[in-house]
Amino acid sequence: MKTILIDYQSNERIGELQLKTQPRDREWVEINNKLYYIHRIVHTENDVLKLIVMAEDSPS
């Protein structure tokens, strides 16, 4: 499943990846050895997911 990561604060695209499992809101995921907190998941057309995330080391 194609997944696009969007930064929670800046609303900028962080990256893109293929996920094998369905992520859930309000859980931590490790991507490229970095932890991200999923604030919101947005489903778009063509089986693309947008994850609105915040990196573990981001200022809160």
38, 34, 33: which is closest to 54 by C-alpha?
38
Is the pTM here over 0.75, yes or no?
yes
Cα angle: 8, vertex 14, 19; to 5 degrees: 100
Strand order in the sheet with 48-55: 13-18, 2-7, 48-55, 34-44, 28-31
Confidence of residue 58 (pLDDT cuts 50, 70, 90): low
Q: What is the pLDDT of residues 1-31, one digit of tens each?
A: 889 999 999 999 998 988 888 888 889 988 7
pLDDT score for 59: 57
pLDDT score for 39: 93
